[in-house]
Homo-oligomer: A and B are copies of this chain.
């Protein structure tokens, strides 16, 4: 029989504790550096130094430098989904409003990190990128796309047979990428140009969806 531990919480062994701590240190160090110097100019050596570990250790936790960035976007997507879910007022709001808040929340989250987002995010979405089209990244995209799907069905339950039904979320994904590109290059006060484009195009897109086809 095993030396079982105290009754209470599932006690984490030294190993698991340490692993978690180091993982966090890496992410924290990387984010700080990405923000300071941008993605490309941040070396994995610097990340390791800042996290007080050996260079190789970074790669015991993340397969590539991009993966560290991907972790950040997981936080971003999960955060945005949670915000939309928890917003009571939104529950019965029109679809375009839900989608607006979803993207707005994402952009707010990304705002302090614009410098490396252009580099890392778009890069992570390259079709051939190990990150963009396999493993974690696919899971992340699916989580996002499924959520959008839910929002659509929740608001337009009768349209599910429309011509757009099966690829509306995919289109939304591409649309989001477009918005992101636009946002990154938007120099207007408070990114108002992006918000305006967002507002109008969402209203329009939803109208389209309601018609059920082109």
Listed A/B pairs (26) with beta-carbon separation below 8 Å: A38-B128, A39-B128, A40-B128, A118-B126, A118-B127, A118-B128, A119-B126, A119-B127, A119-B128, A122-B122, A122-B127, A127-B181, A127-B184, A127-B185, A167-B197, A170-B182, A171-B178, A174-B178, A174-B181, A174-B182, A177-B177, A177-B181, A201-B214, A203-B214, A204-B208, A204-B214
Q: How far is the CA of A184 from the CA of B129 in the complex (A)?
A: 13
User: Considering the complex of A and B, which 7 residue pairs feature the smallest CB-CB distances, nearest first?
Assistant: A118-B127, A118-B128, A174-B178, A200-B214, A119-B128, A204-B214, A122-B126
For A123, A128, A170, A174, which residue has the most chain B Cβ atoms within 10 angstroms? A128
Q: Is the CB of A178 within 8 A of B181?
A: no
A178-B203 Cα distance, complex, nearest whole Å? 20
Smallest CB gap from A204: residue in B: B214
- Beyond the given pairs A119-B126, A133-B185, 12 more chain A to chain B contacts, judged by CB atoms under 8 angstroms and listed by A's residue number, are A40-B128, A118-B127, A118-B128, A119-B127, A119-B128, A122-B122, A122-B125, A170-B182, A177-B177, A177-B181, A203-B214, A204-B208
This protein's copies in its complex: 2
CB distance from A120 to the nearest CB of B (A): 9
Nearest CB on B from A138, distance (A): 12
User: Contact mask A39-58 → B, CB, 8 Å, 1/0?
Assistant: 11000000000000000000
